[in-house]
Amino acid sequence: MPPPVISVSHLGKSYGSTVAVDDVCLEIHKGEIFGLIGPNGAGKTTTMECVEGLRKADRGTISVLGLDPRRDLAALQHRIGVQHQEAQLQKRIKVWEAIDLWSSLYPRVVDTEVLLARLGLEEKRNAKFMTLSGGQKQRLFIALAMIHDPEVLFLDELTTGLDPQARHAIWGLVKGIRERGKTVFLTTHLMEEAERLCDRVAIIDHGRLVEVGTPAELVERHCPERRVVFTSEGTDAAERLAGVPAVRSVVSEGCTHTLRGEGDDFVTHVINLIAREGIQVKGFRTEVPTLEDVFLKLTGHGVRD
């Protein structure tokens, strides 16, 4: 296996008496979208900016593309692209002017026309920054972060404040970036975003890493329960399923029955049982736990608390 693109070992950083990051260890591999997820103040931006070389860690070691972000910052800046949380530009700067200005910072840049087209900004090339929508501003920041064709892209809270449509468009863009072989390190406090976009996630809370894995692994490991909810007018439907070993519990409210069990086969099992018992079903749905449930279970609170 090739060495990780980003390697963080025992990272620690405090601001006065506030411990922002506490003993964080991470490895991020080439071509993956890796998400650091956690609530406000969890230490995501601090961790990310230490990795980018923009903040100085108190403890630990960091390597990005084999470089030390503090010592080799100038070399690293040509190989990484950064989109900051709550970035701003001058209100009246035009899209093409911003692209031009950023291009002048690097010895080698991509074809900016291709970049603008890829990010759906061709028609906005003459628009002033202040007239762009939230999603367009974010796409411009991605464009600026990618102007020198970096190997690693850092995206801090990329879609916060965007509507679902703009968010989906940006997820598509980020997946396209991965398809071109880049590595993406992002932060988010949106569990749906992490689940849909990230190959692997790390959950951070109060500066400490709580878990690392693929979203599916974390759900399987911490919230293996599956639920089937069905409605049936037959009065004895629940009783007929209650004795089955795979069904851990049955709760009925009127005609609505909720069955709980574990494992990938559980839902198939219930469907077979319902068919075998000849139960008349009016409605049927399954409820599979999400990353949000994992987060709640591991941290004891919701991500927005």
Ligand X SMILES: Nc1ncnc2c1ncn2[C@@H]1O[C@H](COP(=O)(O)OP(=O)(O)OP(=O)(O)O)[C@@H](O)[C@H]1O
Q: Which residues contact 155 (CB under 8 A, 6 or more apart)?
A: 83, 142, 145, 174, 184, 185, 186, 187
Say how far apart CA 198 and CA 191 lie, in whole Å.
10
Please report whether residue 43 would count as binding ligand X according to CB under 6 A. yes
158/274 with CB nearer ligand X: 158
Say how far apart CA 67 and CA 232 lie, in whole Å. 62
Residues 6+ apart with CB under 8 A from 32: 178, 183, 184, 199, 200
* Min dist. Cβ of residue 202 to Mg ion (A): 14
Instruction: Rule CB under 6 A: say whether 215 interacts with ligand X.
Output: no
Identify the residue among 3, 10, 18, 73 touching ligand X (CB under 6 A): 18
User: Would you count residue 46 as binding Mg ion (CB under 5 A)?
Assistant: no
Q: How far is the CB of 36 from ligand X (least distance, A)?
A: 8
User: Residue 156 Cβ, how far from Mg ion at the closest point, in Å?
Assistant: 6
Q: Does 35 bind ligand X (CB under 6 A)?
A: no
Q: How far is 287 from 297, CA to CA, in rounded Å?
A: 17
Contact residue for ligand X among 6, 33, 35, 45 (CB under 6 A)? 45
Decide if residue 188 touches Mg ion (CB under 5 A).
Answer: no
Which of 45, 138, 232, 299 forms a contact with Mg ion (CB under 5 A)? 45
Subset of residues 123 to 182 that bind ligand X, contact rule: CB under 6 A? 157
For ligand X, the binding residue among 22, 54, 68, 85 (CB under 6 A) is 85
Q: Does 209 bind ligand X (CB under 6 A)?
A: no
Tokens encoding 130: 């202040």
Subset of 62-121 contacting Mg ion (CB under 5 A): 85
Q: Which is nearer to ligand X, 36 or 99 (CB)?
A: 36
Out of 5, 33, 35, 44, the only residue in the binding site for ligand X (CB under 6 A) is: 44
Stretch that binds ligand X, among 42-50, 76-84, 175-183, 231-239 (CB under 6 A): 42-50
Give the x-and-dash track for 186-205 against ligand X (CB under 6 A).
---x----------------
Q: Which stretch binds Mg ion (CB under 5 A): 36-44, 64-72, 99-107, 192-200?
A: 36-44
Cα–Cα distance, 115 to 174 (Å, whole number): 13
Residue 124 binds which of ligand X, Mg ion, none (CB < 5-8 A, kind-dependent): none
Site residues (CB under 6 A) for ligand X, limited to 248-287: none
With CB cut-offs between 5 and 8 Å by kind, which of ligand X, Mg ion, none does residue 66 bind?
A: none
| Residue 31 near which of Mg ion, ligand X, none (CB within 5-8 Å, type-dependent) | none
Q: Which residues bind ligand X (CB under 6 A)?
A: 15, 18, 20, 38, 40-46, 85, 157, 189
Contact footprint for Mg ion (CB under 5 A):
44-45, 85
